[in-house]
Chain A
Amino acid sequence: NAGVMQNPRHLVRRRGQEARLRCSPMKGHSHVYWYRQLPEEGLKFMVYLQKENIIDESGMPKERFSAEFPKEGPSILRIQQVVRGDSAAYFCASSPIRFGQGSYEQYFGPGTRLTVT
């Protein structure tokens, strides 16, 4: 069973461009979470999605950031008009059941390292 897959692993964008990060959860997992990690810091929650629904986006900046998890295909984190402060590692995690319902285990992908020049 393949783990959580993220691509690209590294992404370089110039200021003002768009960044599109993809996440394929583990097979059978319908819950996806996105986190951002700045250098030397812990992960910060951004958004929690189930298939076709955004459940909690309380950690996501109100502007320029959006996320989706369509019925078919991977989850996408989209950052429009990137700025240097968006440079970070973005991690996706998945779980088979809703987080907190008996388990606090999330399965993380390897991350996408975004560099904005």
Chain B
Amino acid sequence: LAKTTQPISMDSYEGQEVNITCSHNNIATNDYITWYQQFPSQGPRFIIQGYKTKVTNEVASLFIPADRKSSTLSLPRVSLSDTAVYYCLVVAGNNNDMRFGAGTRLTVKP
């Protein structure tokens, strides 16, 4: 599985757009990119998944360039409740597990 690299922490303010970029230089052809969110003392929650270009849902957007060596999770107009750890994962269809790194700890300030 491709290793992922993302910032350890980020700060933002309410109402701002937050972009968290993840590097995955060794991503394989069949790998997908997925992002999870985890609040303290809770299990992770799925946010979005994508293979290439742009994916958008009601929560976030995921931008993946043509070479797929990185991806950017975009959270529009964050609120205090978006303070959490965000995990970028590269997952392969023939694997049964997800490899969570340390994630990015996002702190949204008033």
Q: Which residues of A contact B15 (CB under 8 A)?
A: none
| A65 close to chain B: CB less than 8 A | no
CA distance A101 to B97 in the complex (A): 12
CA distance A43 to B34 in the complex (A): 15
Does the CB pair A100–B93 fall under 8 Å? yes
Q: A42-B87, A111-B43 are in contact. Are A100 and B100 (CB under 8 A)?
A: no
One digit per residue, 1 when the CB lies within 8 angstroms of any chain B CB and 0 when it does not, for chain A 83-104 equals 0000000010100001111011
Does the CB pair B102–A104 fall under 8 Å? no
Q: A100-B95, A101-B93 are in contact. Are A42 and B43 (CB under 8 A)?
A: no
Q: A41-B102, A100-B91, A111-B41 are in contact. Are A105 and B97 (CB under 8 A)?
A: no
Q: A109-B43, A110-B42 are in contact. Are A59 and B97 (CB under 8 A)?
A: yes
Does the CB pair A91–B43 fall under 8 Å? yes
Interface residue tally for chain B (C-beta within 8 Å): 24
State which of B34, B42, B94, B100 has its C-beta within 8 Å of the C-beta of A104.
B34
Q: Which residues of B contact A12 (CB under 8 A)?
A: none
Does the CB pair A104–B49 fall under 8 Å? yes
Does the CB pair B91–A108 fall under 8 Å? no
Chain B interface secondary structure, helix, strand, loop or mixed? loop
When C-beta atoms are compared, the residue in chain A nearest to B34 turns out to be A104
CA distance A75 to B76 in the complex (A): 38
CA distance A35 to B43 in the complex (A): 10
CA distance A93 to B32 in the complex (A): 19
For the A-B complex with A100-B91, A104-B89, A110-B43 known, give 6 more contacts whose Cβ atoms are closer than 8 Å: A42-B100, A43-B98, A45-B99, A99-B95, A106-B98, A110-B41
| The 5 residue pairs across chains A and B that have the minimum distance between CB atoms | A108-B43, A42-B100, A45-B97, A100-B93, A56-B96
Interface residues of B (CB under 8 A from A): 32, 34, 41-46, 49, 87, 89, 91-103
